[in-house]
Chains A and B, each alone.
Chain A
């Protein structure tokens, strides 16, 4: 199985800060990497697919980059509504696997 790691596991930042989360795969997954936002008590919501493609309706302050084994998720200017846990997920190989998540809150 492909192992996904994320760092940091949690972070606290101020409104307007730039926030960066990294995701690493245990083997080459090309660009088959997706990012989800999950707010407490809610189902995950797809933000970015195939490493860089922003979903329709998702604010442009969210972005993704990377390929192969190293990926980055960025919030260019953190907003109060961005408080959530963010997960990466690979779909290159079955079984699909998720990173452990990064909890983002406001300082």
Chain B
């Protein structure tokens, strides 16, 4: 069974960038869309974007277009989400989630990465 393992917590200054990784273990995610979803403290879930690692095709929520870059490595086992120009309100848990092939639902999630933006 595929598991998604994310990189550890980050503390960043406003205006800086952060790069979070999501690595598949126990299988491949190359042909699946991998999505990024964030959750601010005490708040709901917000979809950010997705990539299909095998082809590099990416979609972004308009809110994050230009500030978020989602990439995958050549082995297609690791997906990255990089966010630039960090603001205090970007403090959140960032999740990666695999999108099932036929039904567009998120069936496997990473454990989450806490990103704290603080001066």
Contacts and interface: CB of A to CB of B under 8 A. Distances in A.
A46 B103 CA distance: 12
B28 interface: no
A49 B103 contact: yes
B53 interface: no
B62 A98 contact: no
B112 A95 contact: no
Interface string B82-119: 00000000000001010010011111011110000000
Given A43-B109, A95-B62, A32 B44 contact: no
Contacts of A95: 47, 59, 61-62
A101 B47 CA distance: 14
Nearest to A4: B44
Contacts of A38: 45
A68 interface: no
A79 interface: no
Interface string B19-43: 0000000000000000101000000
Nearest to B104: A91
A20 interface: no
A101 B95 contact: no
Given A43-B95, A95-B62, A96-B35, A89 B45 contact: yes
B105 A98 contact: no
A97 interface: yes
Interface of A: 32, 34, 36, 38, 43-46, 49-50, 53, 55, 87, 89, 91, 94-101
Given A49-B100, A95-B47, 11 more contacts: A34-B103, A34-B105, A36-B106, A44-B97, A55-B107, A87-B44, A87-B45, A89-B105, A91-B104, A94-B59, A96-B104
12 contacts: A38-B45, A43-B97, A44-B95, A44-B97, A46-B107, A49-B105, A49-B107, A91-B104, A91-B105, A95-B61, A96-B47, A101-B44
